[in-house]
Structure 1
Amino acid sequence: MADASDQAFYDRADAHIELSNEQIKTHGDLGGVSASMMFGTTRFNAWASAQNFKSGAEMADAREALLKYFCDQYRLMLEDNLDDHINNFSQYMQVK
């Protein structure tokens, strides 16, 4: 994960979130937009990973390591964001 001081990392993430928020306004389907964002992330990560290999067979050999890396990273990031929302629920959800 990026260093907390890497503002460009957070700016890119915020741009993706902003796009998803706009799609929610347009389509009104929070679950569908969330699923589309996750699918897009996995599709992009598969493509980005493929850039490091010379063949599908070589990539297939690394499949389990790739899955472990991305699943571990997703879990760490999700844990951090869940904890952040738990600790700041009233502020983020504007609960009175």
Structure 2
Amino acid sequence: MSQDSNTQDNNVDASIEITPEMQAFYQRADAIIGVANSQLGPDAHSGQVGASLLYAAARYSASVASIGFVKADDFAKEKDDIVEFYVKQYRQMLSDNLTDYAQNFDKYVQLNQDDKPAE
């Protein structure tokens, strides 16, 4: 699926300075998208890879959220707040990327066509 080395240009207002931390953030995201793209093939279509990626994000987020807790009961008590936090973050990121994809649809469709193996 679409992986653009200029991801930071797509989702961030042009008036915002791209800090080294932001650059690193987008580079990590692009690397993860690259791993997901490498999983595409005859045995796994984009929906299957996307589902695995969502599961991996949820699994990793649960692990990250647990950092700093000493007792499982305390962690469990925070579950609803943790879910709310991650859902809010994901909703905003998904919305931003859908907007970006719609605005750059022809470019991204061409990128996706270029990524397909020749038959």
| Alignment TM-score, normalising by the size of structure 1 | 0.89
SS in 2 for 1:94: helix
More helix per residue: 1 or 2? Answer: 1
Report the equivalent of 1:81.
97
Is 1:72 equivalent to 2:88 in the alignment?
yes
Is 1:29 equivalent to 2:68 in the alignment?
no
How many residue pairs end up in the alignment? 93
Deviation, 1:59, is 0.6
Describe the shift of the 1:81–1:28 C-alpha distance in structure 2 as closer, same or farther (beyond 3 A).
Answer: same
Is 71-80 or 48-57 further displaced after alignment? 48-57
| 5+ residue gaps, structure 2 | 1-15, 112-119
Alignment RMSD (CA, Å)? 1.8
> Identity of aligned pairs, percent?
34
Deviations 1:11-41 (A, max 9, x none): 0000000001110146341111000001000
| Alignment TM-score, normalising by the size of structure 2 | 0.73
Q: How does 1:1-96 map to 2 (within 5 A)?
A: 5=18, 6-25=22-41, 27-94=43-110
Deviation, 1:94, is 1.8
